[in-house]
C-alpha cells in the first residue's frame, strides 16, 4: 500500500490497518527469530557434516605424509616445503594439548556436576587444630569449562583445516607445481584472504570478552546459583528450567513471579510512554524550528541539542538533585505558593510520571535530530492543498505530518522502543527503582525496569540465576521486535543498491 | 483578505517564537543552574533560593588541591588515558569489521553479520559479572587496562553505521583499483579510508566519548579502589549520602569541567554524523 492509498482510507480504517500490520508482523517476527535460530543451527550442522565428509575422504585418498598429519598436525605441509605453515599447525596442536592437560580437563571433568566437594573443616593432623579445606568452586568450573569447550571448537576447526591443507599441498605437489612459500601465503592475507586478516583480531576480542561471558551467563540461568549458593563457600549445580518456572510462578508474599509480572507491565507502559511522548513532542519542535519563516534556526537547535551533548550521568544526577524534596524545583514552587512535592518518594504514580517527564528532557533532542531530515522530505503539495481546503496547522499535523511520519519511521520507532525497554541510565540515576512501597516486590522498587532489576539481582542480592533468566527473556522480546524492524526496512534498504 | 492572511501568519510566528523561547529556557535552565551553583560560596547541598548570593572560585580550586578523599585530577587523567587507548582499538576494530562486511565477499559473510546483529541485542550488563570474573582470572581487576579491554573488545559489533557508509562508496572504485594492481589492503588504506573522513571522525569521537560517560562497568571493576576511578564514577561517589554534604559544590564544579570538553566534542561529532550518514556518503 502506498502512502496515497493509505491516506485515502478513513482514520478508523487507517488505525485498523496500522494495528493489523503490527500484530500481523509479531508472528512473523517470532517465526523469524526461532526460524532464524533453527536455520543457523542447521547451517552449522550441515557445514559440520560437510567438513567431516571431506575429513574422511581426504584420509583415505591422501598419501602417507597426509595421513601422518592427521596425528601430527602440519606434517603434510612440512614435508611439501611449507615449513612455516607446518610449524604453525604443530604449535597449535602442542598448545591445545598442553592447555587441556594442565587446565581444561581439570575443569571439564567436573562440568557435569559443577563440583561435589564442598569446602569444609578438617582436623589438621600436624597441628591438631581444625582448618578450612577449600572445596570445588562451581563458578570457576563453569567459567573455565565453558572456555575449554569454546577453545576445543576452535581447535577442531584448525585441525580440520590442517588436514585440508595437507591434502591440498599433496595434490599440488603431485601435479608437479610448487607449493606457495610462507611469504607468498602471507602476502595473500593482504589481498585474497584480506577478510581473515581484518576480522581475526575483532573476532578474537569479541569471542573472549562478549561471547564467552554471554554463554556463561546463559548457562547460569539453568543452575541454582543464587544467594544461598555463592562460591567459594558453597556449591551450585544444574537445575534445568527451575529458574524460569520461578520467574513465572506467582505465590503469596514477596515473590519473583509477582515482581516479574509487575515490572514487565511497568516496563511496557514506560516504553510506550517514553517512546511516544518523545516522538510527538520532538517532532512538533522540529517542525517549529524548521518552519520557513522562523529565524535563528541554529540558536534554537543548539538550545535543545546541548542537553544531550552533556554526558548523561551529569545531566541525570543533576536532575535528581534538582528534584529532591528540598531541591530547587520545590524552592521555586514555594515562591509560587505551591506545596512541595516529593517527586521520588511519595507514590509510585508520581515517581513514574516524573521519570517519564525527565526522560522527555533527555530524549526529545534526539528526536529533533533524527526527524528533521525526514520532515523536510514530506511533499509540500500535501500541505498546500490542505491549506487551500482551510485546514489549520493542528489539523495538518494530525492528518498529514503524523500519519506520514508513522508510515516512514516505524522502524525507527520500534528501535527506540527496544532502546527504552533497556533504558538503564534514566531509572538507575533518577530513582534507583524507588519508591519501595510495594512489599510484594522482590528486590525491586516500583519504578524499576526489568533491566535495572536484573542489575540489582546481580549486584545487591546475588541472585545470578534469576538475573540471567530475566536477561534471556528480555533478549527474546528485543530480538523479536528488532527482527520485525529488520523485515520492515529490508525492502527499503538494499545494501547493494548504491553500487 | 491578503492582509489578514499575513497577520495570521505573523501571529502564528510570534506564538512559535514565544513557545520555543519558553521551552528553550526550561530546557537549558538545569544546566544554567549547574553553572551558577558551581560558583556558589555559601551553603551545603541546597539553598532555599534560586541564584547563589556569593560567588567564588574555591569549588574549582578545591577539586585540584583537596585530593585526599577524592582525587579529581587523577580521575580526569585516568579517564583520558582509558579514552585514548580504547578509542584507538575500537576505531580500528569498527573500521576493519565494517569494511570487511561492506566491501569484501567471502564464504559465511552473511552468517558473521547475523551473529553480530544477534549479539548486539543482548542487554549489555548481562555479561558484566562473567566479565568481572574473567578479568579477575587474568589478574586485571581494579586496573585501567581492564577498562580499556571492556570498552574496546566488543566495539567491532557496532559496525552498522560505518558499514552503511562504506556501502555508499561506489564499487567501481575498487574494481578500477584492482585492475591497476592494487591489493585489497592498499584499497582499504589508500582509497576507502581517505574518502571516509566524516565516518572516521564520527567513529573516533564516539569511541572517545564513551569512557567519559560510562559508570556501571567502572563501578563493578574498580570496586573500592578510588585512585583508579574515572570521572563519572568519582563524581557519582561525591553525591553519595555520606559525602554529599561536604562535596556537593565540588560535584557541581567537577561536572562542569567534564561537561565542557565532552559537549564540544559531541557537537562536532553531530556535524560529522549528519555529513556522513544523511548526506548519502561520497559521490563517485
* Domain limits for position B249: 61-278
Q: Are residues B53 and B96 in the same domain?
A: no
| pTM for the structure as a whole | 0.82
The answer to whether residue B188 sits within a structural domain is yes
Write out residues 185-224 of A within 8 Å (CB-CB) of B: 190-192, 194-195, 197-199, 201-203, 205-206, 208-214, 216-217, 220
Task: Please compute the mean of the pLDDT values over residues A301-323 and round it to a whole number.
Answer: 85
pLDDT in tens, B1-32: 556 778 877 888 888 899 999 999 999 988 99
Q: What is the number of structural domains in chain B? A: 2
Q: What's the confidence (pLDDT) of residue A487?
A: 66
- The set of cell numbers assigned to A373 is 531530515
Q: What's the confidence (pLDDT) of residue B47?
A: 78
- The set of cell numbers assigned to B223 is 570496586
Q: Are residues B168 and B262 in the same domain?
A: yes
A498 touches B163 (CB < 8 A): no
* DSSP secondary structure letter of residue A424: H
Task: Give chain B's mean pLDDT.
Answer: 85
Residue A324 has pLDDT above 70, yes or no: yes
The answer to whether residue A496 sits within a structural domain is no
Q: Are residues B51 and B144 in the same domain?
A: no
C-alpha A154/C-alpha A495 separation (Å) is 31
- Chain A residues in contact with B96 (beta carbon < 8 A): 198-199, 201-202
Could you report the predicted ipTM of this complex, rounded to two decimals?
0.83
**Percent of chain A surpassing pLDDT 90:** 13
Question: Which residues share a beta bridge with A238?
Answer: A223
Residue A271 has pLDDT above 90, yes or no: yes
Please name which of A373, A438, A440, A375 lies closest in space to residue A405, comparing C-alpha atoms.
A375
- Chain B residues in contact with A486 (beta carbon < 8 A): 117
Task: Please compute the mean of the pLDDT values over residues A176-193 and round it to a whole number.
Answer: 80
C-alpha B152/C-alpha B87 separation (Å) is 7
Q: Are residues A404 and A472 in the same domain?
A: yes
A85 touches A182 (CB < 8 A): yes
* Domain limits for position A463: 250-490
Q: Are residues A15 and A68 in the same domain?
A: no
Q: Are residues A29 and A66 in the same domain?
A: no
A322 touches A329 (CB < 8 A): yes
Q: For the domain that residue A485 is a member of, what is the CATH number?
A: 1.10.3720.10
pLDDT in tens, B193-216: 888 888 888 889 888 988 888 888
Tally of CA atoms within 13 A in the half-sphere of A410 that contains its CB: 19
Alpha-carbon distances, residue A168 vs A76, A78, A146, B19, B283 (angstroms): 9, 13, 33, 74, 44
Task: Give chain A's mean pLDDT.
Answer: 83
Higher pLDDT: B245 or B273? It is: B245
- Chain A residues in contact with B239 (beta carbon < 8 A): 317, 321
Q: Are residues A274 and A166 in the same domain?
A: no
Residue A322 at interface with chain B, using a CB cutoff of 8 Å: yes
C-alpha A356/C-alpha A343 separation (Å) is 12
Q: Are residues A264 and A189 in the same domain?
A: no
Q: What's the confidence (pLDDT) of residue A17?
A: 74
Q: Are residues B53 and B89 in the same domain?
A: no
Q: What is the DSSP string of A235-287?
A: ---B-TTHHHHHHH---SSSBHHHHHHHHHHHHHHHHHHHHHHHHHHHHHHHH
Among the three residues B40, B58, B76, which one is the final residue of a domain in this structure? B58
The answer to whether residue A49 sits within a structural domain is no
Q: What's the confidence (pLDDT) of residue B281?
A: 38
Between A191, A422, A495, which is nearest B183 by CB?
A: A191
Please name which of A151, A144, A166, A422 lies closest in space to residue A274, comparing C-alpha atoms.
A422
- Least confident segment among A122-136, A246-260, A434-448: A122-136
Q: What is the DSSP string of A138-186?
A: HHHHHHHHHHHHHHHHHHHHHHHHHHHHHHHHHHHHHTTPPPPPHHHHH
pLDDT in tens, B135-172: 888 888 889 999 999 888 888 888 888 888 888 888 88
Residue B90 has pLDDT above 90, yes or no: yes
A131's enclosing H/E stretch is: strand A130-133
Please name which of A447, A259, A419 lies closest in space to residue A357, comparing C-alpha atoms.
A447
Q: What's the confidence (pLDDT) of residue B79?
A: 93
Task: Please compute the mean of the pLDDT values over residues A239-265 and round it to a whole number.
Answer: 87
Q: Are residues A322 and A408 in the same domain?
A: yes
Residue B255 has pLDDT above 50, yes or no: yes
The answer to whether residue B184 sits within a structural domain is yes
Task: Please compute the mean of the pLDDT values over residues B213-242 and round it to a whole number.
Answer: 86
Residue B84 has pLDDT above 90, yes or no: yes
The answer to whether residue B283 sits within a structural domain is no
Q: Are residues A322 and A419 in the same domain?
A: yes
- The set of cell numbers assigned to A453 is 532489576
Task: Please compute the mean of the pLDDT values over residues A62-75 and round it to a whole number.
Answer: 85
Q: What's the confidence (pLDDT) of residue B100?
A: 92
Q: Are residues B49 and B75 in the same domain?
A: no
Q: What is the number of structural domains in chain A? A: 3
Q: Are residues B141 and B218 in the same domain?
A: yes
Q: What's the confidence (pLDDT) of residue A443?
A: 85
The answer to whether residue A105 sits within a structural domain is yes
Tally of CA atoms within 13 A in the half-sphere of A245 that contains its CB: 7
H helices of chain B, in order, are 2-38, 58-65, 72-103, 109-119, 128-137, 144-153, 160-167, 171-179, 184-186, 193-195, 197-213, 216-222, 231-238, 241-273
* DSSP secondary structure letter of residue B51: S
Tally of CA atoms within 13 A in the half-sphere of B68 that contains its CB: 1
Q: Are residues B109 and B247 in the same domain?
A: yes
User: Which residue has 482514520 as its cell numbers?
Assistant: A11
Backbone angles phi, psi at A127, to 5 degrees: -90, -20
The answer to whether residue B284 sits within a structural domain is no
- Residue length, chain A? 499
Q: Are residues A160 and A301 in the same domain?
A: no
User: Which residue has 516524573 as its cell numbers?
Assistant: A354
Angle, helix B144-153 to helix B197-213, in steps of 10 degrees: 130
User: Which residue has 520507532 as its cell numbers?
Assistant: A413
- Give the residue on B whose Cα is nearest the Cα of A199: B97
pLDDT in tens, A408-448: 777 778 888 888 998 888 999 888 887 888 888 888 889 99
Q: What's the confidence (pLDDT) of residue B278?
A: 52
Across the interface, whether the CB atoms of B262 and A311 are under 8 A apart is answered yes
Q: What's the confidence (pLDDT) of residue B284?
A: 33
Write out residues 472-491 of A within 8 Å (CB-CB) of B: 474-475, 478-479, 482, 486
- The set of cell numbers assigned to A105 is 580437563
Q: State yes or no: cis peptide before A435, omega within 30 of 0.
A: yes
Q: What's the confidence (pLDDT) of residue A385?
A: 87
pLDDT in tens, A405-415: 877 777 778 88
Residue from B23, B32, B129 to probe the interface with A (highest A Cβ count within 10 Å): B129
| Burial bucket for residue A434 (CB in 10 Å: 0-12, 13-18, 19+) | middle
For residue B95, name the pLDDT band (cuts at 50, 70, 90): very high
The answer to whether residue B69 sits within a structural domain is yes
A449 touches A423 (CB < 8 A): yes
Q: What's the confidence (pLDDT) of residue A12?
A: 67
Tally of CA atoms within 13 A in the half-sphere of A379 that contains its CB: 7
For residue B282, name the pLDDT band (cuts at 50, 70, 90): very low
A316 touches A310 (CB < 8 A): no
Q: Are residues A196 and A138 in the same domain?
A: yes
Q: Are residues B121 and B208 in the same domain?
A: yes
Q: Are residues B34 and B70 in the same domain?
A: no
For residue A272, name the pLDDT band (cuts at 50, 70, 90): very high
Cα dihedral across residues B67, B70, B71, B73: positive or negative? negative
Angle, helix B197-213 to helix B72-103, in steps of 10 degrees: 140
Q: What's the confidence (pLDDT) of residue A189?
A: 82
The answer to whether residue A198 sits within a structural domain is yes
Write out residues 17-76 of A within 8 Å (CB-CB) of B: 36, 40, 43
Q: Are residues A306 and A434 in the same domain?
A: yes
Among the three residues A208, A240, A272, which one is the final residue of a domain in this structure? A240
* DSSP secondary structure letter of residue A310: S
For residue A495, name the pLDDT band (cuts at 50, 70, 90): very low
Q: Are residues A8 and A114 in the same domain?
A: no
Task: Please compute the mean of the pLDDT values over residues A122-145 and round it to a whole number.
Answer: 81
Across the interface, whether the CB atoms of B46 and A191 are under 8 A apart is answered no
Residue A360 at interface with chain B, using a CB cutoff of 8 Å: no
Cα dihedral across residues B43, B45, B48, B51: positive or negative? positive
Q: Are residues A347 and A457 in the same domain?
A: yes
- Chain A residues in contact with B47 (beta carbon < 8 A): 331
Residue A286 has pLDDT above 80, yes or no: yes
The answer to whether residue B175 sits within a structural domain is yes
C-alpha B244/C-alpha A215 separation (Å) is 40
Higher pLDDT: A334 or A22? It is: A334
- The set of cell numbers assigned to B137 is 582470572
Task: Please compute the mean of the pLDDT values over residues A257-273 and round it to a whole number.
Answer: 92
How many Cβ atoms sit within 10 Å of the Cβ of residue A119?
15
Residue from B26, B33, B122 to probe the interface with A (highest A Cβ count within 10 Å): B122
Q: Are residues B222 and B241 in the same domain?
A: yes
| Distance to chain B for A64, nearest Cα, Å | 31
Among the three residues A240, A265, A289, which one is the final residue of a domain in this structure? A240
Q: What's the confidence (pLDDT) of residue A265?
A: 92
Task: Please compute the mean of the pLDDT values over residues A23-31 and round it to a whole number.
Answer: 71
Task: Please compute the mean of the pLDDT values over residues A397-405 and round it to a whole number.
Answer: 82
Higher pLDDT: B128 or B221? It is: B221
Q: For the domain that residue B223 is a member of, what is the CATH number?
A: 1.10.3720.10
Among the three residues A240, A262, A281, which one is the final residue of a domain in this structure? A240
C-alpha B228/C-alpha A3 separation (Å) is 56
A106's enclosing H/E stretch is: helix A105-108
Q: What's the confidence (pLDDT) of residue A100?
A: 92
Please name which of B29, B28, B25, B37 lies closest in space to residue B255, comparing C-alpha atoms.
B37
A263 touches A448 (CB < 8 A): yes
Q: Are residues B69 and B45 in the same domain?
A: no
Query: What is chain A's percent helix, strand, coil content, to nearest 5?
Result: 70, 0, 30
For residue B244, name the pLDDT band (cuts at 50, 70, 90): confident
* DSSP secondary structure letter of residue A346: S
Q: What's the confidence (pLDDT) of residue A494?
A: 47
Q: Are residues B84 and B199 in the same domain?
A: yes
Angle, helix B2-38 to helix A312-322, in steps of 10 degrees: 90
Task: Please compute the mean of the pLDDT values over residues A72-91 and round it to a whole number.
Answer: 86
- Give the residue on A whose Cα is nearest the Cα of B280: A498
Amino acid at each position: 500500500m502506498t502512502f496515497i492509498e493509505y491516506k485515502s482510507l478513513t482514520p478508523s480504517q487507517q488505525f485498523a490497518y496500522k494495528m493489523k500490520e503490527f500484530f500481523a508482523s509479531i508472528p512473523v517476527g517470532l517465526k523469524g527469530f526461532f526460524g532464524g535460530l533453527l536455520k543457523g543451527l542447521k547451517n552449522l550442522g550441515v557445514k559440520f557434516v560437510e567438513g567431516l565428509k571431506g575429513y574422511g575422504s581426504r584420509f583415505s585418498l591422501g598419501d602417507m605424509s597426509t595421513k601422518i598429519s592427521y596425528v601430527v598436525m602440519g606434517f603434510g605441509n612440512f614435508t611439501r616445503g611449507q615449513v612455516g605453515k607446518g610449524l604453525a599447525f604443530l604449535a597449535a596442536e602442542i598448545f591445545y594439548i598442553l592447555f587441556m592437560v594442565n587446565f581444561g580437563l581439570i575443569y571439564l571433568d567436573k562440568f557435569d556436576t559443577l563440583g561435589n566437594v564442598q569446602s569444609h573443616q578438617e582436623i589438621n593432623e600436624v597441628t591438631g587444630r581444625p582448618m578450612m579445606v577449600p572445596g570445588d568452586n562451581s563458578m570457576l568450573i563453569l567459567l573455565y569449562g565453558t572456555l575449554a569447550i569454546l577453545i576445543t571448537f576452535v581447535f577442531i576447526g584448525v585441525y580440520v583445516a590442517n588436514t585440508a591443507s595437507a591434502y591440498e599441498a599433496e595434490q599440488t605437489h603431485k601435479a608437479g607445481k610448487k607449493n606457495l612459500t610462507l611469504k607468498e601465503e602471507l602476502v595473500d592475507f593482504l589481498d585474497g584472504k584480506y577478510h581473515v586478516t581484518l576480522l581475526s583480531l575483532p573476532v578474537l576480542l569479541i569471542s573472549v570478552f562478549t561471547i564467552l561471558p554471554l554463554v556463561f551467563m546463559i548457562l547460569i540461568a539453568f543452575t541454582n546459583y543464587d544467594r544461598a549458593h555463592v562460591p567459594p563457600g558453597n556449591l551450585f549445580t544444574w537445575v534445568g528450567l527451575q529458574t524460569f518456572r520461578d520467574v513465572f510462578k506467582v505465590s503469596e508474599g514477596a515473590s519473583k513471579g509477582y515482581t516479574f509480572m509487575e515490572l514487565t507491565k511497568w516496563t511496557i507502559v514506560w516504553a510506550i510512554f517514553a517512546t511516544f511522548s518523545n516522538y510527538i513532542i520532538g517532532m512538533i519542535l522540529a517542525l517549529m524550528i524548521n518552519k520557513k519563516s522562523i529565524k535563528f534556526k541554529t540558536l534554537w537547535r543548539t538550545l535543545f541539542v546541548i542537553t544531550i551533548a552533556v554526558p548523561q550521568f551529569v545531566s541525570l544526577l543533576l536532575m535528581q538533585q534538582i528534584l529532591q524534596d528540598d531541591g530547587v524545583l520545590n524552592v521555586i514552587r514555594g515562591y509560587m505558593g505551591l506545596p512541595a512535592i516529593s517527586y521520588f518518594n511519595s507514590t509510585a504514580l508520581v515517581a513514574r510520571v516524573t521519570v517519564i517527564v525527565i526522560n522527555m528532557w533527555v530524549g526529545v533532542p534526539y528526536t529533533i535530530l533524527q526527524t528533521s531530515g525526514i520532515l523536510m522530505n514530506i511533499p509540500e503539495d500535501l500541505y498546500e492543498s490542505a491549506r487551500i481546503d482551510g485546514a489549520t496547522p493542528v489539523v495538518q499535523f494530525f492528518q498529514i505530518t503524523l500519519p506520514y511520519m508513522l508510515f516512514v519511521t516505524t522502524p525507527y520507532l520500534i528501535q527506540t522502543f527496544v532502546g527504552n525497554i533497556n533504558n538503564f541510565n534514566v531509572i538507575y540515576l533518577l530513582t534507583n527503582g524507588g519508591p519501595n512501597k510495594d512489599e510484594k516486590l522482590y528486590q525491586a522498587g516500583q519504578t524499576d525496569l526489568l533491566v535495572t532489576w536484573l542489575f540489582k539481582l546481580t549486584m545487591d542480592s546475588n541472585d545470578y540465576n534469576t538475573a540471567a533468566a530475566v536477561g534471556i527473556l528480555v533478549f527474546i522480546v528485543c530480538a523479536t521486535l528488532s527482527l520485525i524492524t529488520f523485515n520492515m526496512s529490508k525492502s527499503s534498504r538494499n545494501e547493494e543498491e548504491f553500487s | 483578505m491578503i492582509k489578514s492572511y499575513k497577520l495570521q501568519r505573523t501571529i502564528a510566528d510570534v506564538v512559535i517564537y514565544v513557545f520555543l523561547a519558553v521551552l528553550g529556557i526550561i530546557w537549558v535552565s538545569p544546566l544554567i543552574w549547574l553553572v551558577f551553583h558551581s560558583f556558589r560560596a555559601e551553603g551545603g547541598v541546597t539553598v532555599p533560593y534560586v541564584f547563589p548570593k556569593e560567588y567564588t572560585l574555591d569549588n574549582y580550586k578545591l577539586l585540584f588541591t583537596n585530593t585526599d578523599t577524592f582525587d579529581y585530577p587523577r580521575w580526569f587523567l585516568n579517564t583520558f588515558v582509558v579514552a585514548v587507548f580504547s578509542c584507538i582499538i575500537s576505531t580500528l576494530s569498527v573500521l576493519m569489521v565494517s569494511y570487511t562486511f561492506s566491501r569484501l565477499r567471502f564464504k559465511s559473510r552473511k552468517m558473521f553479520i547475523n551473529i553480530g546483529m544477534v549479539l548486539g541485542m543482548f542487554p549489555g550488563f548481562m555479561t558484566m559479572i562473567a566479565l568481572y570474573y574473567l578479568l579477575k582470572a587474568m589478574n586485571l581487576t581494579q586496573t585501567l587496562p581492564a577498562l580499556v579491554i571492556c570498552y574496546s573488545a566488543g566495539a567491532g559489533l557496532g559496525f552498522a553505521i560505518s558499514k552503511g557508509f562504506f556501502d555508499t562508496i561506489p564499487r567501481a572504485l575498487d574494481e578500477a583499483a584492482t585492475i591497476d594492481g592494487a591489493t585489497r589492503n592498499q584499497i582499504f588504506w589508500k582509497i576507502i579510508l581517505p574518502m571516509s573522513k566524516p565516518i572516521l571522525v564520527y567513529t573516533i569521537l564516539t569511541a572517545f566519548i564513551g569512557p567519559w560517560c560510562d559508570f556501571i562497568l567502572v563501578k563493578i571493576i574498580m570496586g573500592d579502589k578510588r585512585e583508579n576511578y574515572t570521572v563519572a564514577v568519582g563524581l557519582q561517589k561525591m553525591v553519595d549520602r555520606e559525602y554529599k554534604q561536604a562535596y556537593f559544590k565540588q560535584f557541581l564544579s567537577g561536572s562542569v569541567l567534564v561537561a565542557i570538553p565532552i559537549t564540544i566534542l559531541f557537537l562536532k561529532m553531530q556535524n560529522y554524523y549528519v555529513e556522513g550518514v544523511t548526506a548519502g556518503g561520497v559521490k563517485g
